[in-house]
């Protein structure tokens, strides 16, 4: 297995409930290393670019409004097989379907307000990291 990097967002529903540290503790307990992190308000343009793949979906407007509704914590996570490992740790998109012990099972409020994002493949991880971090912002 290779050491990979993936992109994570702690979403506004989680920052609003002061859960950044609790989510980070689960990330670290799972063996992933937080190698870059910042708390930001993202613009509408940034949110629309980030979720452009979902532009035609019925929930797109709601998703963008949610992602700009409060601060988020954007992160780069590093570890063995990090992309799949973090998807496993996050759990299913809908918290009702998420496995016990996953971040979404423990913290998510709904399929929309589901606490975390994680990249779904190596190409998206690279693109998403580059949208928010310069190379020298990431210290592994």
Q: Which of 4, 75, 117, 129 is catalytic?
A: 117
- Residue labelled with tokens 């532009």: 55
Minimum CB separation from ligand ATP for residue 138, in Å? 20
Q: Which of residues 79-138 bind ligand ATP (CB under 6 A)?
A: 93, 111-112, 114, 117-118, 120
Exposure on the CB side of residue 50, measured as CA atoms within 13 A: 25
Minimum CB separation from ligand ATP for residue 136, in Å? 26
Give ∠ CA 22-60-37 in degrees, rounded to 5.
30
- 100 φψ region: left (φ > 0), alpha (ψ -120 to 50), beta (else): beta
Q: Which of residues 39-78 bind ligand ATP (CB under 6 A)?
A: 54, 59, 62-63
Q: CB–CB of 107/15 below 8 Å?
A: no
Is residue 54 flagged as an active site residue? Answer: no
Which residues belong to the active site? 117
State the residues that interact with ligand ATP by CB under 6 A: 54, 59, 62-63, 93, 111-112, 114, 117-118, 120
């Amino acid at each position: 297995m290779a050491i990979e990097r993936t992109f994570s967002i702690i979403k506004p529903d989680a920052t609003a409930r002061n859960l950044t540290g609790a989510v980070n503790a689960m990330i670290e307990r799972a063996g992933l290393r937080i190698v870059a992190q910042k708390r930001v308000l993202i613009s509408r343009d940034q949110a629309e670019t980030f979720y452009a793949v979902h532009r035609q979906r019925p929930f797109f407007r709601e998703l963008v409004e949610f992602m700009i509704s409060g601060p988020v914590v954007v992160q780069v996570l590093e570890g063995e097989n990090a992309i799949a490992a973090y998807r496993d740790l996050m759990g299913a998109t809908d918290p009702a379907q998420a496995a016990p012990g996953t971040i979404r099972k423990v913290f998510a409020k709904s399929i929309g307000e589901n606490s975390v994002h994680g990249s779904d493949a190596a190409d998206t991880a690279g693109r998403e990291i580059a949208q928010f971090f310069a190379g020298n912002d990431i210290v592994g």
